[in-house]
Structure formats: structure tokens, C-alpha cells
Amino acid sequence: MTTDTSTAPIAGAATSTESGTIPNPTAMVPEDLRFSVAPMMDWTDRHCRAFHRTLSRRARLYTEMVTTGAVIHGPRERLLGFGAGEHPVAVQLGGSEPADLAEAARIAAAFGYDEVNLNVGCPSDRVQDGRFGACLMREPDRVGDCVAAMKAAVRVPVTVKCRIGVDDQDPEAALDALAEAVTRAGVDGLIVHARKAWLQGLSPKENRDIPPLDYGRVLRLKQARPELPIAVNGGIATVDAAADLIGQGLDGAMLGRAAYADPAILLTVDPVLFGEPAPVADPFEALEAFLPYVADALAGGTRLQGVTRHMLGLFNGRPGARAWRRHLATAGTRPGADLDTLRVAAGLVSRESGFGHAPLAEEAAV
Ligand SMILES: Cc1cc2nc3c(=O)[nH]c(=O)nc-3n(C[C@H](O)[C@H](O)[C@H](O)COP(=O)(O)O)c2cc1C
């Protein structure tokens, strides 16, 4: 693997704000969806995204879901601000009122996001109470109206992340209806979490594991709509598995938990999926490249743990990975923890990687 750290994107310095000057691209090409890290509440905050960006220049990164109400009435800079080094980065909105989504999309686009995504997959009770998220699978025309309103409001691509159906819906009919409605509205791409959501009786966590995966359903959708960029999500554990699904005809794959738990897998995204060198050679270089960002964050009042909580899995599979995690979970959470704390933690990890990438049994037990 060739290493080129000179252009490694170090986030931190400039920040996109509502008056951001980053030009908005207008069209999505299928390659834009080739690989992405999923939107994950409480996980994919700006620190997490900045960290992931040190591991891949090409992965598309998504924010946590933000509701239209929060965007329109809440503290925008805190909810939407992000570092200039995070591009390409998409904002995910939660809502079901076309006018509110248009307004929220306009506000988010002004921050400089590269894409606005609508959540049609979240099954939580709170989201169901607001009649958005996965329950919108039952209202494809409404989703189409939402997409049309968002498209009219912004120049950046508008995408939808959905399920293959909910509850007793037939996934063939439900996904077709959704895809038809959003295509008519001009959607730029669809990301399909390849399982149903069961809206009664399962927690959001169970809804990410229990309904069975059906990649075949997403492949059939792509065959039926070759012109629509479509990425698949759900249960994809490695970049090779993503490449395999792309090889079967899909435009891209979105990884959530695997990328978060084992971020070093992102080091293979650029070489394997884009034929380009990784920004850094290994997790140690990634950490080194990320230190200026951490220093900026600390200087801005963020506690070390606020950044490093996303990095606990960085050394998975190496001797000392457990000591790294333990040091960050103890010394790293104390007031005053700083870059030295981080360096000490990294010093506990062996640079020998002869143990393969799978977590050691000893470490898997943590
Ligand atoms: C902690 C957590 C938070 C999540 N939050 C969101 C969210 O805000 N919006 C969304 O569309 N999906 C959310 N998801 C679902 C993921 O985006 C993804 O669809 C799901 O985890 C399946 O992909 P995976 O098997 O690769 O993790 C979340 C998942 C997790 C684990």
C-alpha cells in the first residue's frame, strides 16, 4: 500500500457555518454512493467523522439524524456545524412535512453539506410518534412530496435511506412503491437497509438485527431501476463484502456498526474500492495524522473522551489493543486528559500486527 500523508485531510481548522463558502455540487454520480459510513445517532458526530476521514479520503460520511424541528428551531451551529476536512459529508434529516423538510434542507445546505438525506428507516417510538422514519414506508406519496420539496429547495443531491418494508408489508410492493414515488420526485439516490423494520415489539437495536437481511431484494430493485444510484446497507462486515455486493450490480455499500467498531477497516476503502492509496499506512499513522485535530478540539473545550470514544476500536486485533482501550477509559476520561494521555495509550499497543485483524480472544472478551 502506498503511503502519502502530505495530502491527508486533517479536519479541525476551518469550519463550515451557515455562511459557508464551500461550493455545492449539483449532481450525484453513482460513484458518490460507492462507500459510506452510516448515519448513527450519538456515534457519527463531527469528531467521529473527522476521525474516519483520516482513514479514507473517499468514504462518504453521514451525520446523525437531525429532526426538522431541531434544525429550524434549535441551535444550528451545534447541530450542523462541521469541519472543512470532513467532505464528502451528508446531513441526514428526520421529518415528514414537506415544507419543514424543505426549510431544514435549505438551512443544512447553506452549511455546505454535499448531500441531504431523508430518514425513512428509523423505527424508534419517538420517531413513530412524529410520524417519520420507517413508518413513512407506508406513505410513499408523502415521501415523494418530501423529496420534491427538498429538491426544489437545494442544489445538492437529495437522497433517501429506507428499509425494504415495515411490519406485514410485502417488500416487493413496498420498496417498489417507495422507489417509484421518490424517483418521480427526482431523488438522486437511494440507500436501502436490506431488512424490514418491525414497528411494534422490537427495540431500535433489535430492529437492526432481528428482521432477516435480504440483499436480493435490493439487487432486484437495482435491476428494475438501473438509472437510479442505489446503495445497500445492513450487516456488511468488511470492505471486501462491500466490493462483492458492488460486483453484483449495486452502486455502493453503506457500513454502520462494523466501521464504527473496527475503524481500521476504512483504511482499505480507498485502495480496494477506488484504486487509490490510503491516506495513511496504518492505524498508528492515522492517530498521528489526527493529533492536530484532537489538539484543536481540546483547545476548543472538548474533553479528550469526547473525541477518543470513537477511537476505541482503532487497534483491534493488535497486542495491546485492550490496554489502549483501558487507558482511554480510565486516564483518558479524567479532567485534564490531553494529547500525552493519548500518546501513552498508543504506546501500549504493539506495532507488530502478526496476529491478524480479528480481535484476539483475550480482547474480544472486553
Ligand atoms: C447507534 C446507532 C444509531 C443509529 N442511528 C441512525 C440514524 O440516526 N439514522 C439512520 O438512518 N440510521 C441509524 N442507524 C442505523 C444505521 O444507519 C444502519 O442502517 C444499521 O446500523 C444497519 O447497518 P450496519 O449493519 O452496517 O450497522 C443507527 C445505528 C446504530 C447502531
Question: Ligand 1 site: residues with CB under 6 angstroms?
Answer: 38-43, 64-65, 92, 119, 121-122, 161, 193, 208, 233-236, 255-258
Look at residue 75 and give its three-state secondary structure. coil
pLDDT in tens, 252-308: 999 999 999 999 999 999 999 999 999 999 999 999 999 999 999 999 999 999 999
Query: pLDDT digits over 159-186, tens only?
Result: 999 999 999 999 999 999 999 999 999 9
Point out the residues that are catalytic. 122
CA-CA distance, 256 to 230, in Å (whole number)?
A: 17
- Residue 165 contacts residue 137 (beta carbons within 8 Å): yes
Alpha helices in the chain (DSSP H): 46-53, 68-73, 76-80, 98-110, 125-129, 140-153, 171-184, 215-224, 239-247, 257-261, 269-274, 283-299, 304-308, 321-329, 339-347, 361-364
**Helices and strands in the chain, H and E counts:** 16, 10
Share of the chain above pLDDT 90, in %: 86
For ligand 1, atom 28, which residue shows the shortest CA distance? 40
Distance between CA 196 and CA 212 in Å, rounded? 8
Of 89, 31, 36, nearest to 260 by C-alpha is 36
Provide the pLDDT for residue 23.
Answer: 46
* pTM as predicted: 0.91
Instruction: Report the chain's C-alpha Rg in angstroms.
Output: 20
**Residue 36 CA, ligand 1 centroid: distance in Å:** 12
Q: Are 60 and 86 in contact (CB under 8 A)?
A: no
Taking only the tens place, the pLDDT of each residue in 236-259 is 999 999 999 999 999 999 999 999
Residue with cell 476536512: 85
Rounded Cα–Cα distance for residues 50 and 294 (Å): 10
Ligand 1 centre from 211 Cα, in Å?
14
Query: Could you report the per-residue pLDDT of 76-132, keeping only the tens digit for each?
Result: 999 999 999 999 999 999 999 999 999 999 999 999 999 999 999 999 988 888 889
* pLDDT value of residue 363: 44
Q: Domain map of the chain by residue range?
A: 24-274, 283-364
* Distance of CA 106 from the midpoint of ligand 1 (Å): 24
| Topology (CATH level 3) of domain 283-364 | Four Helix Bundle (Hemerythrin (Met), subunit A) (1.20.120)
Total residue count of the chain as it appears in this document: 366
Backbone angles phi, psi at 347, to 5 degrees: -65, -15
Is residue 92 annotated as involved in ligand binding?
A: yes
For 49-86, what is each residue's pLDDT tens digit? 999 999 999 999 999 999 999 999 999 999 999 999 99
Q: Which residue of 37, 41, 136 sits with most ligand 1 atoms within 8 Å of its CB, as the best mutation to test the pocket?
A: 41
Whether 233 has a binding-site annotation, put simply, is yes
C-alpha 319/C-alpha 323 separation (Å) is 9
Distance from Cα 307 to the centre of ligand 1, integer Å:
20
Which listed CATH number (3.30.530.20, 3.20.20.70, 3.30.465.10, 3.40.50.300) goes with 24-274?
3.20.20.70
The confidence score (pLDDT) of residue 204 equals 94
**Nearest to 35, CA basis, from 54, 63, 53, 60:** 60
Please give the grid coordinates belonging to residue 25. Answer: 455540487
CA atoms within 13 A on the CB side of 17: 6
Q: Nearest C-alpha to atom 3 of ligand 1 is from which residue?
A: 40
| Helix 283-299 with 339-347: angle, nearest 10 deg | 160
pLDDT of residue 26: 67
